């Protein structure tokens, strides 16, 4: 099996999860390369149902390396919940099976609040989970990444730079409540302790696997017709 990329050709819900599960057994590495927790892949194994929003579906196979790549935007609370749940059910016994790209961007609380408030105005039908606003910050080069989360000083500095403009937009434009600096720092310091063991230079490991001719399965989320250029805009 050569490297394979699984993507949806419609608006999502095409059954990608089932195809990924079918092909995972032949792969060495499974890479979730884009999207956020607005997607959900449902997998059945040994009569058990699993729904993954961020975790690569290959995590159910102990011999697979699973990567959350730099193109994914991560809500740490959701990811930790998924990790906790699968560990409780007897999977991911070896933490080295999962790696999170140090370049993956974070979804912050203000991203979610902005997302929900905007959807009340524009009625696009977003999931309200902060995916779009997080990608906006990534493109604007003011996003906060996993590597920033691991360094408390850097994280504080970036939150201090971003929060005033986000609060101004929330209060003055969207008529929503603002966020306190301390509440975000306190919440995310807990996430740091739980996720730091998984954060690595994932791109290097994917490159090395490819160089060694290992079989890699790239797991897409959502669908092509949601694309802002090739899909149904907005």
Catalytic residues: 13, 41
CB 39 within 8 A of CB 53: yes
Residues 54, 57, 58, 60, CA torsion sign: positive
Query: Strand order in 65-68's β-sheet?
Result: 4-6, 216-219, 29-32, 65-68, 98-101, 199-200
Task: Give 3-state DSSP helix, strand, coil % of the chain, rounded to 5.
Answer: 45, 15, 35
Residue 66 forms beta bridges with which residues? 30, 98
CB 82 within 8 A of CB 52: yes
């Amino acid at each position: 099996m050569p490297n394979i990329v699984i993507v949806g050709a419609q608006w999502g819900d095409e059954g990608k999860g089932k195809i990924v599960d079918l092909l995972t057994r032949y792969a060495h590495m499974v890479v979730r390369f884009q999207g956020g927790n607005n997607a959900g892949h449902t997998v059945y194994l040994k009569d058990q149902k699993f729904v993954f929003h961020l975790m690569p579906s290959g995590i159910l196979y102990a011999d697979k390396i699973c990567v959350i790549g730099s193109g994914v935007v991560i809500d740490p609370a959701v990811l930790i919940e998924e990790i906790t749940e699968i560990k409780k059910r007897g999977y991911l016994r070896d933490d080295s099976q999962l790696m999170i790209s140090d370049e993956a961007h974070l979804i912050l609380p203000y991203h979610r609040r902005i997302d929900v408030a905007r959807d009340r105005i524009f009625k696009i039908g977003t999931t309200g989970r902060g995916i779009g606003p997080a990608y906006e910050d990534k493109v604007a080069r003011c996003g906060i990444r996993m590597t920033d989360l691991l360094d408390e000083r850097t994280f504080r500095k970036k939150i201090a730079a971003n929060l005033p403009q986000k609060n101004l937009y929330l209060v003055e434009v969207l008529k929503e409540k603002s966020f306190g600096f301390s509440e975000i720092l306190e919440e995310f310091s807990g996430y740091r302790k739980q996720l730091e063991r998984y954060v690595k230079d994932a791109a290097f490991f994917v490159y090395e696997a490819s160089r060694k001719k290992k079989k890699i399965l790239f797991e897409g989320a959502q669908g092509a017709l949601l694309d802002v250029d090739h899909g149904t805009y907005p």
